[in-house]
Each structure stands twice: as C-alpha cells, then as structure tokens.
Amino acid sequence: MMALPRLLILNLGMIGILSINGCALDAKNASIPEVSAATEHHVDSQQQQWNGPELISRRYRTLFFGYDTVYYRLSAKQATNATPQYQLLIDINYGSKTKRDYSLAKLTADKILPITTRNHETMRCDFFNSMVFACLFRDRATIDLTMADLQIGATQGLSVQLSSKDAAYDHFDVPAAYIAGVMQAIEQPSTGH
C-alpha cells in the first residue's frame, strides 16, 4: 500500500502526551483497488453520489503569499434510474492582484471544456513584503466530464490546464489509476465507503 505515514501528537498538559499513528492515502500514486476503496459513496432517497479521494497540486509563487494550490477530485452523481453524471470538483487557492476568471479547461489540443464557478471568495488582501498589494482568493468550480473523457482518462490519465479566455493558469494531472479506481467504485458500490 502506497501511503504516507501521518503522526498526530497531542499535548494534554499534566495528563501527558497522546500519540496517534495512521496512514494517509497518496491518491496520485495509489493503485486502482486503493483508490476504489478510498472512494466515498453516499446514498439518499433521491440519488447516489461518489467522491474520489482528494488530489493536490501546488505551485510556489514568490510574490503572492507562497503557494497556489489546487485541490481536486472526481465525483459522480446518479439519480434513481438515470445514468451517472461525472464532474471534476476543483477548489483553488491563489494569491493575485486581481481575481482570476477560470472559465475553460483544456484537456487535449482539441478538447476544451467550460468551467462552472460555484463560489468565489476574497480571503484577505494585504501588502506582501511591503511592496506588492495582493489578495488571497478561493474559487470553487466544476468541470463536467463525459464517459468518453473518463474512458480515455482511465488508460492515459487526464492533463488539465485551467485558463480564462486570455490567460493560462493552473495545470494538474489526474492519473489513469485514480480514474479507473473511482470508476471501479461506481460500478461496484460495495467497495466504496
């Protein structure tokens, strides 16, 4: 199992120190069965939903508060007696002088999909190194994917370039084993949580 060790130490004052060891799944390097087992599965009276484990992509930027970070995961929803709808859920944290207009996702040279922004927040604005006035932003968005996108992705992976009409921003990869693992969890719901 490809997992990173995680150690949590709590200082309980005069009582002592409590140590808890565990493993966190490295979803980028996990096998198909590991991703399938880590995929969350929720059922209610209206629909089923699957959420793959979270993936993270970071890029350090000297001037704007450090890292731009993209948290992303594959998700699917299926209403009763309907086919599943697939999405890539994206949570982007970045520093910039101005808000970005995430509107397009380029998967390949000829495959460009629209991005639907669900929420945009300005976290804080301040001077960085007493020179540059910038803000920390958080955007949450979705990219709708087709079964054909996922079938290609399950063999080759998906390379995603987030952009606006005028500028390219964040790039990240969704590994083939990750996509195949989430698809396996959808096909066999008993393997998910």
**Whole-angstrom distance, CA of residue 85 vs CA of residue 159:** 20
In this predicted model, what pLDDT tens digit does every residue of 167-188 receive, in sequence order? 888 899 999 999 999 999 998 8
**Whole-angstrom distance, CA of residue 160 vs CA of residue 163:** 10
pLDDT band at 23, cuts 50/70/90?
low
Tokens standing for 119?
Answer: 């929420």
In this predicted model, what pLDDT tens digit does every residue of 27-59 receive, in sequence order? 888 999 999 999 999 988 788 999 999 999 988
**Whole-angstrom distance, CA of residue 86 vs CA of residue 141:** 14
pLDDT for 19 equals 41
Contacts of 191 (CB under 8 A, 6+ apart): 33, 36, 37, 39, 184, 185
The separation between the first and the last C-alpha atoms of the chain, rounded to the nearest angstrom, is 18
Let me know: does 41 contact 35? Beta carbons within 8 Å. Answer: no
CA diameter of the chain: 63
pLDDT for 84 equals 87
Round the average pLDDT of the chain to a whole number and report it: 82
**Whole-angstrom distance, CA of residue 44 vs CA of residue 156:** 33
CA-based R_g, the chain, Å: 19
* 155 has pLDDT over 90: yes
pLDDT for 165 equals 82
Quote the DSSP letter at residue 190: G
